[in-house]
Amino acid sequence: MITVRVQAEAFDLGEETRVLSEGRTDIGAVASFVGLVRGGEVEAMTLEHYPAMTGKALEAIAAEAAERWSILGGTLIHRHGRLLPGDPIVLVAITAAHRGDAFAACAFIMDYLKTGAPFWKKEETGGESRWVEAKNEDAAARDRWN
């Protein structure tokens, strides 16, 4: 129901949304979220992952969202590799008959991705790099769905 892709290549929000809704008259809402590499001090971000583990984890998160809400379909794309400020990292696009289900499923997936997706992030700042640790607020956002 929700297509999951892990890829190095950039994605096009407009194209992904078009593919989800083209020819469909049962869709009343498309909710989407695109996460970008934030600039400022960050010069680049590298996302590493273990492919066999990552795909399964993302599919489990997507399946749980599909069980909780009445959605009609969706796309979840998470990138890996070295990304620069302004580059898209993640896309969650959810279709549903009603906006409430689409918004909730989209938010749920993002909250779970922040804590449950096995990606390791390294930020480059000032010529040095450091691994990014999980934040307490990410866990709190995920826990609100329990």
- Convert the pLDDT of each residue in 45-101 to its tens digit: 999 999 889 999 999 999 999 999 999 999 999 999 999 999 999 999 999 999 999
What is the domain extent for residue 110?
2-143
pLDDT in tens, 121-138: 999 998 899 998 888 888
First to last CA, the chain: 23
CATH number for position 34: 3.90.1170.40
Per DSSP, which regions of 26-141 are E strands? 29-36, 42-49, 71-79, 81-83, 88-96, 119-125, 128-131
Indicate the number of domains in the chain: 1
Kindly give, in sequence order, each residue whose CB lies less than 8 Å from that of residue 48, ignoring residues fewer than 6 positions away.
80, 119, 120, 122
Residues β-bridged to residue 30? 95
User: Identity (one letter) of the amino acid at 146?
Assistant: N
* pLDDT at residue 27 in the model: 97
pLDDT (mean) for 26-51: 94
